[in-house]
Amino acid sequence: MFTQVKLNYNYNAYEPYVDALTMETHYSKHHAAYTKNLNDAAVKAGVGDMPIEDLLSSLDKVKDDALRKAIRNNGGGFYNHNLYFSTMSPNGGGEPVGKLFEAIKKHFGSFEEFKDSLSQLSISQFGSGWGWLSANAAGELSLSSTANQDNPLMDGKGFVPILGVDVWEHAYYLKYKNLRADYVKTFFNLVDWNVVSANYEKAQNKK
Ligand code: MN3
């Protein structure tokens, strides 16, 4: 049974960056639907007890085409939004400290260059999708973007997403309309770098 991460704040706590109605619809409708549809498909496919990271990085184990597609789309939607919502905080923003900050500097030159690169990838993703900061067990970082609800786990290259920027229109359209770049810029005001740092540590402890 896959369950949605709990939101630590009320829907209106993310204002003015993300409006309350967007948060409510995103979490209680979109994310809830991905979660329900994943559970239904996973039970049918006999993979309801697998850790979600393992499931998404070995989708070829699901032999039925329709179920595999349902698990890819809804399992991605479930996992991606658990990551997204857990890294958002009204007390977010600023920069990470410690090992993650050092790794960002090493890989991307500076925090600002990292932010610009991830923003550009997210803004220029054609259609619905995500921008990603991912890490592997060696502590290396990678930036990428994907379409739909795909994520870097599905590449099977050992990179685990540690921060995701949702650029589906449902994440921003009520407030930002067509101005995806404005939403992406403002999203960084909500990023809880403590959680992203913890995700970075976890990615390195993966066997
Ligand atoms: Mn979304």
Rounded to the nearest angstrom, the distance between the alpha carbon of 20 and the centre of ligand 1 is: 14
Rounded to the nearest angstrom, the distance between the alpha carbon of 23 and the centre of ligand 1 is: 10
The Cα 4–Cα 193 span in angstroms is 21
Tell me which architecture the domain covering 98-204 has in CATH.
3-Layer(bab) Sandwich (3.55)
Rounded to the nearest angstrom, the distance between the alpha carbon of 171 and the centre of ligand 1 is: 5
Rounded to the nearest angstrom, the distance between the alpha carbon of 2 and the centre of ligand 1 is: 17
The Cα 91–Cα 9 span in angstroms is 10
Rounded to the nearest angstrom, the distance between the alpha carbon of 17 and the centre of ligand 1 is: 15
The values of phi and psi at residue 88, to 5°, are -100, 135
The burial class, CB within 10 Å (0-12 / 13-18 / 19+), for 170 is: middle
The Cα 138–Cα 58 span in angstroms is 21
The domain 19-86 is classified under which CATH number: 1.10.287.990, 2.60.40.1220, 1.10.1200.10, 1.20.1050.40?
1.10.287.990
> Looking at the predicted structure, is the pLDDT value of residue 203 above 60?
yes
Rounded to the nearest angstrom, the distance between the alpha carbon of 106 and the centre of ligand 1 is: 30
pLDDT one-digit tens code per residue, 147-200: 999 999 999 999 999 999 999 999 999 999 999 999 999 999 999 999 999 999
- What is the pTM for the complete model shown? 0.97
Rounded to the nearest angstrom, the distance between the alpha carbon of 67 and the centre of ligand 1 is: 21
> Looking at the predicted structure, is the pLDDT value of residue 207 above 70?
no
Rounded to the nearest angstrom, the distance between the alpha carbon of 165 and the centre of ligand 1 is: 9
The Cα 137–Cα 205 span in angstroms is 6
Domain spans of the chain, in order of start = 19-86, 98-204
